[in-house]
Amino acid sequence: MTSMARKKRGKPRRDRWFRRVAFLGIAGASLALAGALLWPLLPGIPPGPGGDATGEPGRTIRMTISMGGFDPYEIRVRAGETVVLKIWNPDSPYHIDGGGQHQFAIDELGINLMIPPRSTRVLTFKADRPGVFTFYCDVCCGGRANPAMVGKLIVEG
Ligand SMILES: [Cu+2]
C-alpha cells in the first residue's frame, strides 16, 4: 500500500521533470538553429593583432575595407619604404551587392587587389616617387562614385 502511494506521487514529478528537460532541449536546439542561420549575416571579427609575426619585411599598416569604406581612408608612407598593407574585409559573403567583395586599386602604381568577404589580403609594395595617389574600390555599391570607396595614399619624399 505504501509503495503504491509512493509510485502515484512519484509519477507526476517525473512527468514535470521530463517536460522541463524537453522544453530546455527544444529551446536550446532552436537557439542553436537560429544562431547557425544568422551567423553568416553577422559582421566578421577582425583578426587579432599579429604585428610582424609573418616575418614580412617592411612596415605593416592595417586597413579595414567594408561597405562603410576604407579605414583608415588616408595612409602616409615614405618614398622608397617597403610597406606591408594588410587589408581585412569583414563583410558577409551573402551581401546582395557584389557578394561582399572589395577591391584595393591604385592605377598609377599598378595595384589591383581583390579582397574576398571575411578575409585578409596582404599587399607588399614600395612607392618610389612622392605624390598623392587615389586608391579605390570599384566592385560594390556605386564603386568609385561612392565617396566611401575612395581614399588617399600620401607618399612623402
Ligand atoms: Cu567596396
Is the Cβ–Cβ distance between 111 and 123 less than 8 Å? yes
pTM here is 0.67
pLDDT in tens, 39-96: 655 555 555 444 444 444 678 999 999 999 999 999 999 999 999 999 999 999 998 8
Does 6 share its domain with 37? Answer: yes
The domain that contains 114 carries what CATH number?
A: 2.60.40.420
Tally of structural domains, the chain:
2
Does 32 share its domain with 67? Answer: no
Neighbouring residues of the ion ligand 1, judged by CB less than 5 Å: 102, 137, 140, 149
Ligand 1 mean position to 91 CA, how many Å?
10
Does 21 share its domain with 67? Answer: no
Ligand 1 mean position to 1 CA, how many Å?
79
Residue 51 covered by a domain: no
Structural domain span for residue 150: 59-156
Does 21 share its domain with 90? Answer: no
In whole angstroms, give the CA distance from residue 120 to residue 88: 4
